[in-house]
Structure 1
């Protein structure tokens, strides 16, 4: 996964001190249900055309709607956008954000978002590119899907391709909102015959703690 592989450990170490807290306050579901929406999306079908093995999970957190900022409570689109801002502008992504900025910000990527202020204010419309590793490829009323695993300037197949989905779903009857970060990683270059996933198990574990930190941080940005 290029630079992400190199900085994932750094990011996890930076947030690892709160591992017990994150385990208690966020949830991980893996594997994803067979009827999960992501399997039917245009992007997943196109990128994982070989139906290769997938690293799959969703990290989610449930918040009382009463704790969510009033201007967001009745607007799932606004909630999803603000949650996405919290993911990429928050402390959990900070080490990776800084390293990718130093390594990849240059004249060729001048139209992409890199710094915290840009990521905290973006509307994450279709085609938005950031950190030279992510691009918004689909949007619904309550979700934002980005492609990961390589530079948007090189849109071809990748040995470590991926789709991340940030979403916010309100249950008015229960008075809650579920926010989540869904992840799928796979090889989009060629068929995988031996059933091998694109990352070792240890990397999966580290990734899930990283997701927990990002989700917890982003959820906090919706309250107050």
Structure 2
């Protein structure tokens, strides 16, 4: 019992320390503003046609331009792609990446991306699919929007549907690169008038989002996943 208590105590300290670090180094706002551009996007209008309530937030981080790799500093598109690569090839997504490769990789998904190296080198072009769970549905110069919540092979309505917007913006006046992950979850299958998941799931998602933003930001300051 003593060993178990010590192990649980050590685990709790690691988790608490990690949560404290993410709180100190990333920012999170919920809900999104009423004039956020995501609400007017074609994908949100298409998939949340029942106008159900949603879980929504944006997690972001500002980096001094001087800390960013020199070849990325003046190119928002390159910054966005590298940030996206870091988020999906990093430590936060690693457990889910491994599980989904084990359960979803097969003949029907042979054209999708599954492993770390594939996600670390993808250009995340429109239509890119990975982990049999995500698909790039919109692209701009400084943003990548993905749909999640189910297999891209089954593109119909879902009880838990989601859109993820990853972006990077140069703020030369402030001397920063601002990176962010915006998420919105909703039920696209039927009109419920409810959010698609309980608050505990929403809370855990926020830590997940913070960790992914931290991963993506690290990618901008060093080469490799």
**C-alpha separation in 1, matches of 2:215 and 2:146:** 19
Partner of 2:194: 196
The secondary structure found in structure 2 opposite 1:33 is coil
Higher radius of gyration, 1 or 2: 2
Partner of 1:145: 145
TM-score (norm: length of structure 1):
0.91
Which of 205, 210, 213 is the aligned partner of 2:208?
210
Partner of 2:160: 160
The secondary structure found in structure 2 opposite 1:57 is strand
The secondary structure found in structure 2 opposite 1:222 is helix
**C-alpha separation in 2, matches of 1:144 and 1:207:** 19
Supply the RMSD in Å over aligned alpha carbons: 1.1
For residue 217 of structure 1, report the CA deviation from its aligned partner. 1.2
TM-score (norm: length of structure 2):
0.91
Residue 177 (structure 2) pairs with residue 177 (structure 1): yes
Residues 1-224 of structure 1 aligned to structure 2 (within 5 Å): 16=15, 17-192=17-192, 195-224=193-222
**C-alpha separation in 1, matches of 2:184 and 2:174:** 29
The secondary structure found in structure 2 opposite 1:158 is coil
Partner of 1:10: none
The secondary structure found in structure 2 opposite 1:191 is coil
Tell me, which stretches of 5 or more residues in structure 2 are unaligned?
1-11
Runs of 4+ in 1 over 4 A off after TM superposition: none
**C-alpha separation in 2, matches of 1:149 and 1:37:** 21
Q: Deviations over 1:120-154 (max 9, x none)?
A: 00000000000000000000110000000000000
For residue 50 of structure 1, report the CA deviation from its aligned partner. 1.1
Q: Deviations over 1:79-128 (max 9, x none)?
A: 00000000100011000000000010011000000000000000000000
